[in-house]
Amino acid sequence: MPLKSQRNQPPSMAPGMDGALAGSEAAELAASFVEESLALIEQANAALLTLEADPDDREAINALFRSVHSIKGAAGLFDLPALIHLVHAGEDLLGAVRDGKLRVNAAMVDELLAGLDYVTRWIGMFQAHGALPPEKMDIARRFAAAYRARLDAIAPAAATPGAGPEAGPEAVPEPGVRHAWAEAARATLAGEGAGEGAPDTAGVSVEYTPDEGCFFSGEDPLRVALATPGLAWLDIAPREAWPERARFDPYACNLRIRLIACADRAEVEHHFRYMPESVTLAALGPAPAPEPESAAAPAPAIVLPPLAVELLEAQRRALAMPGRQDQVEDIAAVVRNIAASCAMPCPLGVDHADAARVSAAIAALLDATRAASLPDAAAAPLPEGGPVGGAGGASRGEAAERTLRVEQGKVDLLMNLVGELVVAKNALPFLARDAEMRFNSRELSREIKDKYAVIDRITRQMQNAVMDIRMMPVSDLFKRFPRLVRDIARKQDKLVRLEIEGESTEADKNIIEALAEPLTHILRNSLDHGIETPAQRLAHGKAETATIRLVAFQEGDSVVIDVIDDGRGIDPEQLRIKAVERGLIDAERAAQLADAQAVQLVFLPGFSTAETISDLSGRGVGMDAVRAAVERFGGAVSLESRLGQGVTVRLRLPLSMAVTRVLTVELAGQLYGVPMDLVVETVRLDPGAIRRLKQSEAVVLRDQVIPIARLRRLLGMEDVATPLESVLILRIGPATIGLVIDDFGTGMDIILKPFSGILANMSGFSGTAVLGDGRVLLVLNLKEIL
Amino acid sequence: MSLSPHSLAAPPAPPAPGEAPPCRVLIVDDTLTVRLFCAQLLKREGFGVDEAINGLEGLEQALQHRFDLFVVDINMQKMDGYAFLAQVRRNPDLKAIPAVMLSTEQGTEDIARAYQAGANFYLTKPIDPVRFMATVKLMTGVACP
C-alpha cells in the first residue's frame, strides 16, 4: 500500500502535525509561539548576563535552562529543524552548566548570546515569512558544533551516540550506495504479484538502525518507518540475537528496520531528517543482477503493537515502581479505560483493585491484544528512580499572578473613550453657569454642580484605572540594557558595571516605548565617550571598572530617568571650541557661557564631541536627537557634567500622555491652553514691579530675578495696559520665566489633538482641544514660542 | 477507597452541541504555546479543557473540579510536575485520576521518576498530535477508532 506523502499542508507545522489543526488554529498557535519565544529569549538573555556576573547563581542557571528548554519544546510543534538543532545544542551545553560540569565564562556567554540572537532573528522571519533563511542549517550546525566542542572539552570520551556534531540533521548519503538486500526485496515484491505496489520505477531503499536509547528521546522507530512516504516493503528484525530473559532490557532498541519506498528520494530524506545518524538511504536502480544474500528476509517478524499495548506496558511499569503498589486506583482506571476504549471486556472489576489484580488484568489484556510475542517486559529490571519529587516544589514565595492578555487596541479604545468622557463632563460647569445666569435658577445650578462633583470623581477614578492598565514597569525597557552595555564594553575592552535602580517604576506603555531609543543613545554615548579604558581610569586614580547607573523614579506627574556614569565627564572648554569651529555659535558668545551652560551645547543639532566617530553611537545623530525624541512626548532632557567625574543625563517624561492638564489663559478674548506641568505659580503684579533692563524685562520675585515675556507680543498682538499684570511663572527646562497674559482661566483636563494637514507645520502650538461648551482651545507650545 | 466514577468504563458519547463535554482534561504546563496546542487538539474532539501554569495552580484547579485526566509538564516554577503528581496520588479525591507526563526530558531517570511520582504515561515533546489524542482517548476510555 504505497502511502501518499502529505506534505502539501501549511509548511509551518512540524511533520506529523499536518492536518492536525485548521489553518486559523495553526496561525494562532504560531502567533503564540512567536510571542512566547521572544519573551523566553529575553529571559534567557537576562539570565545569561546574571550568570556571567555570578557563575554560581543557581536561580539564573535554572531560569536560563528552563527558558531554553521551553523554547525547544514549543518550537517542536513547527517545521523549524534548524532552530531546534541550535536550541537543542544550547540546551545540552546549559544542562552541563546546570549539572556543575561546566562553568560559564565570557566567551561562552558570547557564543550563547549570539546563538540566541539568531534564534530571535529566525523567529522574526518565521513570523514574517513562515520560513527561515536558506543558510539556516549551516548556521545552526556551526553553533551546535561550537557548543558541543565545549561539552567535548570536558568529557572527550563520553561522546554520546546520536550527538555527533558533524552529522547534520539532513541525511546526505553518498550517491553511489546500494543496499544489497534491496534488490532481493524488490524481487520478492515483484514475485508476490502485487503489481501496483512494486517499485518498478525509481524507488529508495532505507536502512534504519535506531539508536539504542531512542525510546528515551521521543523517537518512535516503528511509527516513523510506517509513515514513510510511499512505503512499499518493510522488514523489521533484531540486529543482535535477543538476549536471554534475565538480561533482556526492554528499553533498549535492538531493531534494524529495512524498507523500500516508492517516492521521491528528497521526500524520503525529508521524512527521516531528524535521525540522520541512524539512517542510510540508497537509490533503487533499475535492477542489476540480484545478489541473493542471506537476508532472504524473514517475513516481517513483528505485528505492530498499537498504542494500547504501549500504554498497558507503561501501567505495568508504573505498578512496578517502588511505593506505587499501595495506591493503584489510577492504574486500575487507566486499564479499565483502555479496555473500554478498545471495546474489550475488562478483566478488572469495578469494585476493588489491588496490585496483584491490576497486574493480572494488564497481563490478560496484553495477551489478548498482542498478536505476536514480544519478549516479556514484566521481569525486566527497573531503573532506580530518584526519590519522589515532593520537596523542591514550592520555592519562591511570590504570589501567583493572574493576568489577562488584552490586545493593546482595546485598551487604547477604552482610554480614548474615558478621555472623551473626561472632556464631556467639562460641559457640566458651563451648564451650571447657564442655569444660574440664563434661567436664574441658583438651586438647579447648585444641583448640577453637586452632580458634577460626583461624576468628576468617578471619571477620575476610571481614568486612573484605565491608565493603570497601560502602565508598565520600566524594567520592561531596562532589561535590554545590560546586554547592550556588556556588548559595547566588551567590544571596546572597557570594564563597565551597569547598576539599575527603580526598575519597578511605572509609566505609560507608549512613554516606555518612546524612551527606548533615547536611552539607548545616551548609554552608547556614555560608553563611547564617557567611560575611559581601564588603563586610563587607573591612571586617574579611579576604579578599573566603571559604573553606569540607570535610575528611574516617579516625581509628581513625571517619570524621571537618570543615566549617571563615572567617566571622564564633558570638558566645557572643548565644547566651546567645537561649537565655534562648527559655526554653531560665535566665539564671543561661547566665551560668555558659563561652564554649565557650555555643556548644554551638546544638544545643538549636528554636534558630535568624539574625536573619532565610532560605529556605535551613530553618525551625525547626537544628543539633539535624544532631545527631539523626548520632547516629542512632552518630556525634557537635561545634562550635568562633572569634569573627570562623570555625566548625569536626566530624562523627564509625563507618566501618561492621553489626557493633558492645561491651564487656560485669556488673551484678547480668546482662550489658550498652557500645559499645567510647566506652570509653577500664577501671580498678579503691579506693572511697576516689572523692571526694564535694556530691551528685556524682569521681575524680582522672592529674591529671584525672573525674566518676563509678554504673550501678546510673542503672538504679534498689541500690548494693553492693565491695572494689574497677570503673570504665569513657568519652568521650561532649567529656566524660570514669567509670561504676561491678559487673565487666568481654570485648570482643565483635555485630550490634545495634534494638528494635521496644512496646520501640522504650524509652530507655536502643540495642538487643539474641544472644550465642554464646544469651543476650540489652542494649546501653546511655549518651548517654541519662548 | 474512592474510585472516580468518571474513569469507569462507560465510554462517553461523542459530544453533542450544547452538552457538557464528556471528559475534562487539565493541562498543567508553563509554556503557553504547548497549552494552546493541547487545548486546540482536545477541544476539537469535544474534550473539556482547563489550564494551569504550574503544579500549584494545577492542584488548586484539580481540587475545584472533577477531571478525567491530567496532562502534566515536568519543568515548572513553584511546583514541578513530579511534585504535582506526588500530591495528586496522595489525595483521596484525586488519586484515581490518570496522568500523562509531558516533557522534553529524555533521560531514563526522568521517565522512571515520572512513573514513580505517579504518572501513567510519558509523552515526549514535541507533541505528536495523533499520538497525543490517541493516548488521551485510551486513558479516558473514549472510544478510539
B82 touches chain A (CB under 8 A): yes
Residue B84 has pLDDT above 90, yes or no: yes
Check CB contact of B122 with chain A, cutoff 8 Å: yes
Regarding whether A502 and A468 lie in a shared domain, the answer is no
Q: How confident is the model at residue A351 (pLDDT cuts 50, 70, 90)?
A: low
Cα(A204)–Cα(A232) distance, integer angstroms:
10
Q: What's the pLDDT score for residue A617? A: 44
Whether B102 maps to a domain, the answer reads yes
Residue B16 belongs to a domain = no
Of B31, B103, B130, the CB nearest to A74: B31
- Residue of A220, A311, A382 with shortest CB distance to B135: A311
**Is A261 inside any structural domain?**
yes
Contact residues, chain A, for B115 at CB < 8 Å: 314, 317-318, 321, 324, 385
Which is nearest to A417 in space by CA: A675, A776, A658, A768?
Answer: A658
A181 pLDDT band, cuts 50/70/90, is confident
- CATH number for the domain spanning A559: value is 3.30.565.10
**CATH code: domain of residue A143:** 1.20.120.160
Find the range with the poorest average confidence among A14-18, A577-581, A631-635: A14-18
The pLDDT, as a whole number, for residue A370 is 55
Q: What is the reported pLDDT for A563? A: 93
Domain containing residue A467: 408-472
Region A753-767: mean pLDDT is 70
A46 with A132, same domain: the answer is: yes
Q: CA A419 to CA A663: how far, in whole Å?
A: 17
Q: Is the per-residue pLDDT at A298 higher than 60?
A: no
pLDDT, residue A402, reads 61
Domains of chain B: total: 1
Query: Could you tell me the CA-to-CA distances from B102 to A83, B75, B120 in Å, in that order?
Result: 21, 10, 11
pLDDT in tens, A529-542: 889 999 999 998 99
Segment A624-653 mean pLDDT? 84
Which tops the pLDDT comparison, B66 or A219?
B66
The answer to whether residue A561 sits within a structural domain is yes
Residue ending a domain, choose from A441, A472, A503: A472
Phi, psi of A649 (to 5 degrees): -110, 130
Give per-residue pLDDT as tens, A227-255: 887 777 788 888 777 777 777 777 778 88
Same domain, A670 and A764: yes
Q: Answer yes or no: do A307 and B134 touch at CB < 8 A.
A: yes
- Chain B neighbors of A307, CB-CB under 8 A: 131, 134-135, 138
From A741, A728, A613, select the one nearest A680 (Cα to Cα). Answer: A728
Q: Are residues A612 and A669 in the same domain?
A: no
Of A654, A685, A710, which residue sits at a domain end?
A654
Q: Residue A213: inside a domain, yes or no?
A: yes
Residue A333 to residue B109, Cβ atoms within 8 A: no
Q: How many domains does chain A have?
A: 6
Residue contact A16–B96, C-beta within 8 A: no
Q: Is A640 left (phi over 0), alpha (psi -120 to 50) or beta?
A: beta
Span A662-677, average pLDDT:
86
Question: Residue A202: pLDDT band by 50, 70, 90 thresholds?
Answer: low
Using the Cβ of A77 and the Cβ atoms of chain B, whether some distance falls under 8 Å is answered with yes
Residue B145 falls within a domain, yes or no? no
Distance in angstroms between the alpha carbons of the first and the last residue of chain B: 33
Higher pLDDT residue, A556 or B116?
Answer: B116
CATH of residue B136's domain is 3.40.50.2300
At residue A736, what are phi and psi to the nearest 5 degrees? -110, 140
Q: Is residue B9 part of a domain?
A: no
Is the CB of A339 less than 8 angstroms away from the CB of B142?
no
Question: A632 and A522 in one domain?
Answer: yes
Same domain flag for A695 and A569: no
A637 and A509 share one domain: yes
| Candidate from A485-499, A503-517, A758-772 with smallest mean pLDDT | A758-772
CB–CB contact B9 A384 (8 Å): no
Task: Write out residues 30-49 of B within 8 Å (CB-CB) of A.
Answer: 30-34, 36-37, 40-41
Mean pLDDT of A162-183: 49
Residues A420 and A526 in one domain: no
Q: By the CB < 8 Å criterion, does A216 face chain B?
A: yes
Least confident interval from A8-12, A560-564, A719-723:
A8-12
ipTM score for this prediction: 0.82
Contact A383 B139 (CB under 8 A): no
Note the pLDDT tens digit of each residue in A325-337.
888 888 888 888 8
Residue B53 in grid coordinates: 501554569
Specify whether A500 is located in the same domain as A642. yes
Nearest residue to A318 (alpha-carbon basis) of A259, A388, A262 = A388
Q: Name the least confident of A185-194, A282-291, B116-125.
A: A282-291
Q: Does A446 score more than 70 pLDDT? A: yes
**Do A313 and A188 reside in the same domain of the chain?**
no
CB contact under 8 A, B78 and A73: no
| pLDDT at residue A384 tops 70 | no
Domain end residue (candidates: A119, A154, A189): A154
Q: How far apart are CA B131 and CA A226, in angstroms?
A: 14
In this model, does residue A6 exceed pLDDT 70? no
Residues A220 and A138 in one domain: no
Q: How many CA atoms lie within 13 A of A663 on its CB side?
A: 18
Note whether residue A487 is domain-resident. yes
Tell whether A449 is covered by a domain.
yes
A629-638 average pLDDT score: 80
CA distance A72 to B21: 32
In a domain, A68, yes or no: yes
Q: What is the pLDDT, as a whole number, of residue A306?
A: 67
- Residue range(s) defining the domain that contains residue B81: 22-140
Mean pLDDT, residues A52-66: 86
Short-list A356, A358, A338, A340, CA closest to A348: A358
pLDDT at A515 over 70: yes
Residue A260 sits in the same domain as residue A363: no
- A to B CB pairs, distance under 8 Å: 218
Q: Is the peptide bond before A134 cis (omega within 30 degrees of 0)?
A: no
Closest to A330 (Cβ–Cβ): which among B31, B89, B144? Answer: B89
Mean pLDDT of A550-563: 86
